[in-house]
Structure 1
Amino acid sequence: MLEANNLAVEFAGRGRRARAVDGVNLSVGAGEIVALVGESGCGKTTLARTLLGLERPTSGEVRYDGSALSHRGRALKAYRRQVQLILQDPMGSLNPRQTVYEAVAEGPRIHGLPDEEQVVAEALSRAGLRPPERFFLRYPHELSGGQRQRVVIAGALALNPKVLIADEPVASLDASVRGEILALLLRLRNELGLSALVVTHDLGLAWNIADRVAVMYLGRIVESGPVEQILTAPQHPYTQALLSVLPESPDRIVLTGEPPDPTRIPTGCRFHPRCQLLASGKAAAAGIDTACHSEPLPILSSAADPQTACHLTLVDS
């Protein structure tokens, strides 16, 4: 349904260009939920914005249902009806001066959909706000956090999209409400056949909702595959470090430093300045430490099979 092909997005900086997305292949199939995970600053949100058509790629392309995304007005408007965004902060997403009805009706009005009231009522009902008429005249401050997020989801559903891109959809919600929203997304996938790309730093969320997971570091996918395989037997040291912070993990891996500056991407493996395999001497013992510092790794494809961009896995294979 949705695909990134060799996608790159650069931003001008002070004398250098920041490579926020640096060669990404990623696909989301029909009825599939893919989790895009990684720490803050790795390029997840820029990739999501590019897939939505909010950023123009420097190179590569976005494809929807087999056709390349056009950034021309009418084509882009039609595309955004099919691919909708759900943001993490419902209070920031909703206009405090708009009623729930006005918030959900905004999209259908822009796209000129008929039977507005019926469309709004059906969207609210699908999002779990029933009876929908009870919420028409309420304002965001009169709702709970979970109800506000359901209104945001209803606003996306009102356009009957095929793909949802959810950027940290439960990050701002209480723990007691998160499960409800995740269950809602799974139900919408099952009932409506929706596809979804869920952007998150929470691997626990990915485990609970995703079919596949793609791990992003410094603008590039470094590991991807079926969620059960990647999260139970991670091959990339960065994925291993991310998983180690989960409560059930026996050994905590502490990465040194912050993610590198995207204007100064390291040579060789882009993770090598923080890699625990290099720091512990395991890379040297395997004879790959020089390669880690100097030899670039191949860009992963968008295939569903497990893939890892690490010199150690190349040696093992």
Structure 2
Amino acid sequence: MVQTYKTAVIGLGSMGYGMAQSCLRAGHPTWGIDINADAASRFRAEGGQPGDLPDDLNAVAVVVLNAAQTEAVLFGASGIAARLAPGAVVVSCATVAPAFAREMEARCADLGLLYLDAPISGGSAKAALGALSVMAAGSPDAFAAARPLLDACAETVFELGDKAGPGSAMKSVNQLLAGVHIAAMAEAMTFGMTQGITPEKFLSVIRNCAGTSWMLENRAPHIVDGDYSPKSQINIWPKDLGIVLDVAKSAGFSAPITAAALQQYMVAVGMGLGPEDDAAIAKVYARNVGLTLPKAKE
């Protein structure tokens, strides 16, 4: 580990902000960058470094929404890749297709940069605690260069290969399950309501039965509380499940359950629910059968 490990986190959303805070707690000088000026200012007030990004950064975590934003951050008109010193590592955390991760690795290598294909899982709470799971793939040198950042931000790092691609492939598998589980939770809860089972009773019983899942236990309380403030937005799922279906198509693989879940998220977006917490997919089912979901508690 270098004596002073200079880190930048680009994208201070619910996950990136927690990662930036975790780097600060680990003692790394950390710059936080976001198009939301309030988020960047708040991070600086908490101890983030002021001013522009220096040219001698050791690591940059790119925690943006998608492939297009990742590419823009690295290679766009104001892209950071051209400013980084050879040997710096790019830790790419967005959910992207494996082929895109391989392309970014190659373009970074052309500039003498290391690249870690490192999508993340765990949600905003675990990001804030430095307890994320990271599905990572890259060269041994990329892992070594990223290790201080990974140690600060992650509870578990899965080392899935020595080239980019397997990390993003594993994340697509995870997102298939996560997106389907959220939709299935909402369907089951609202189905129960048609049978006189309240959301509160559903949660108290099913979380102790074989039908539970991590997503059910995490998201169902949002519906019970009538709280759809976005910990993870509906808008994420058309992108992520779309990636799953694109990868599946390229493999000649049929994923009908994923496709059905994607349609429900698309309906939710059409209802104007895109910026809400992804538990709001329950509103699609509730609307279709005339149910009234719990209201936010006063």
**Shorter-chain TM-score above 0.5:** no
| Structure with greater helix percent | 2
Q: Which structure carries more relative contact order (alpha carbon 8 Å, separation 6+)?
A: 1
State the TM-score, normalizing by the size of structure 2: 0.31
